[in-house]
Structure 1
Amino acid sequence: MSAPSTSTHQAELSNGQITEDEASLYDRQIRLWGLEAQNRMRSSTVLILSLRSLAHETIKNLVLAGIGRLIIADDGVVEEEDLGTGFLFREEEGAVGKLRTDAALPQIASLNPLVSLTKLDTLSPFVGGTEEETVELLKKEKVDVVVALDLSRSQNEIIDSAARTAGTMFYSAGAYGFYGYVFADLGESYEYVVNSSSGIAKKSLSYAPLSTAISSSAWSKPSTQTREGGSPFRGLTRNTTKKLSPGVAIGILALWEFEQQKQALPIGGEGQVAELKEIAERIRQELGVNAKALPSIENEMIEHLATHATHFFPPTLAVLGGLLAQDVLRALSRKDKPIVNLLAVDTMGGTGTAASWGMGDARDA
């Protein structure tokens, strides 16, 4: 694995306190979130895996908010199709053919010179390496949050497992045409604060790893089973089920299963729509979704996923990347409740709903 390369754009840290330049730049959000939350963010390290699609909007929001250090990792070169996905790659600057990390670094640095930047010209060991190597790298680089973008379910499960061992918070996210998701695993004991009528209250959440949260073998268990899987839709009323819009989450789960079976996402080939529909209907039944609220999975959504799962639509990337970055900042600042724990988004329908998979309710810390 090649050694990390760090840019000259370093944040000036003064005994762990906010500097005058930072106080001026982040004045508005310090007033909004508070100095303590801002200090947590500026002392944090975030690792972004893959610079395609969602990385653009996610990175922009994280860097402008004032995280301390950003590590970007990618092993590919900029292609023509990358040019329309965001600001990281500029055709007029000859980005095509360059390493994605090299093309992206100056664009990121121009957003906020107070953020320290590091690049890795590989996705190893996160993709293709061992869990032990991944844990070692996360600890060595003191990564607070690792964000895996547009990777497969199996890859995400391996990275999540390593992140838990290293004590690193984990997010995965992906865009599939007009649809997408954000999954969060912030560890077995994540503490945060919320403002209540009686003042500031401390809360605690116990997150489930991805492999457990969406385990089909556990979907028959009650949804209140902490870290034991369980369907978040079983036993819900018709109206409550509709509010959670389970169809989108089921479509994404079906995509993941299809990808595991075929080792590739569907591309609209013969019979793929029918295959994806069959998987989705089976998952709907296994999850015990209220049949009055969702008697079947929408054909239009399945057809779109089967045809456009590998396509990137800029409006979807902007919406999903913004939601992802916002939640990463929330997790770092420990201010307000983060995603619990799978957010499914339909940008054409204008819906985004989160459901708790394999987790208990928040409790006082």
Structure 2
Amino acid sequence: MAEPKTKYDRQLRIWGEQGQAALEKASICLLNCGPTGSETLKNLVLGGVGSITVIDGSKVEVSDLGNNFMVDESSVGNQKQSVSKFIEEHPEALIETNPSFFSQFTLVVATQLVEDSMVKLDKICREANVKLIFARSYGLTGFVRVSVKFAETIDLNVADPVAHKHTPYVIILVKMAEEWAKTHGGSLPSTRDEKKQFKELLKAGMVATDEDNYRKP
């Protein structure tokens, strides 16, 4: 069996040993194991995530055969059980009847939920300090929404160069935008000149030339 540093060499180059250790300790809950959910599940497993619990109350239908690589013709009519921790229940029902269930996880990944359930789950996870990702696909289009409340806890002036380099770009934007608004009457950059100044403000936050997280993707 390959050593962890060899097995996960490519991703270690992206988020470092600290990020890989966090991934391996993570406990993740996946809601709905359809096409979007199964692709998410595959990538989490390949990344070395600690544990995954799948919540899905639906059965495999013929239409799933063309868009879900985890099922075949023999699966039609059966549950979408593909991992050891599988709970046969519709996510919407679980959100309504047992909201405390989600507090045990590091991250909840909710796919293909209706808006009403999304709003309720967002409140549940925020109160329990559980990170939440929504994902929904519509053919070749879709959206991903990350719901967390940790922007205010992150210090952009952290002394650790590794932590500074791995601060998410969206957090940098949020923090910098807040600083800008304080000195501009609560407004965000709107004119061409203001946007140019804001970009320079972002660059000024870099402490090393290889900090790609301080550059716009």
Distance 2:15 2:54 in 1: 26
Aligned to 1:98: 78
Equivalent residues in 2 for 1:7-18, closer than 5 Å: none
Matched, 1:138 2:105: no
Answering whether residue 135 of structure 2 is matched by residue 178 of structure 1, we say no
TM-score (norm 1): 0.43
- 2:86 aligned to which of 103, 119, 122: 119
Within 2, Cα distance between the matches of 1:192 and 1:66?
26
Q: Cα 1:79–1:130, aligned 2, differ >3 Å: closer, same or farther?
A: closer
Specify the SS of the correspondent of 2:35. coil
Q: How many residues align?
A: 181
| Letter aligned with residue 76 of structure 2 | V
Please, which runs of 5 or more residues in structure 2 have no aligned partner?
179-187, 193-211
User: Partner letter of residue 97 of structure 1?
Assistant: G
Corresponding residue number in structure 1 for 2:62 = 80
After TM superposition, the score normalised by the length of structure 2 is 0.68
Task: Output the CA distance in 2 between the equivalents of 1:154 and 1:163.
Answer: 15
% identical aligned pairs: 26
Residue 168 in structure 1 maps to residue 150 in structure 2: no
Pick aligned residue for 1:30 from 6, 12, 34: 12
Task: Assess if the C-alpha contact under 8 Å between 2:30 and 2:108 holds in 1.
Answer: yes
Secondary structure of the 1:54 match is helix
- Cα RMSD after superposing both structures: 3.8
1:43 to partner: Cα distance: 0.3
Point out the structure with the larger helix share: 2
Mapped partners of 1:192, 1:62: distance in 2: 25
Query: Map of 1:196-215 to 2, 5 A cutoff?
Result: 199-200=161-162, 201=164, 205=171
How many angstroms does 1:87 deviate by?
Answer: 1.6
67 and 193 in structure 1: CA distance in 2 versus 1, 3 angstrom threshold? farther
- CA distance in 1 between counterparts of 2:97 and 2:191 reads 44
5+ residue gaps, structure 1: 1-18, 106-116, 209-222, 225-233, 239-335, 338-353, 355-365
In 2 relative to 1, CA 71–191 (structure 1 residues): closer, same or farther, beyond 3 Å? farther
- Pick from 131, 139, 152 the counterpart of residue 114 of structure 2: 152
CA contact (8 A) 2:29 2:52 kept: yes
| Distance in structure 2 (CA, Å) of the matches to 1:131 and 1:98 | 25
Q: Distance in 1 between matches of 2:44 and 2:122?
A: 21
Counterparts of 1:192 and 1:28, CA distance in 2: 26
After TM superposition, give the deviation of residue 21 of structure 1 in Å. 4.3
Structure 1 position 236, deviation (Å)? 4.4
The code of the aligned residue for 2:102 comes to: L
C-alpha distance after superposition, 1:24-81 (max 9, x if no partner): 4223322443211111100001111011121122111111011111111100110010
The SS at the match of 1:42 is: helix
CA shift digits 1:80-105 (9 cap, x unpaired): 101111321122xx1111111x2x33
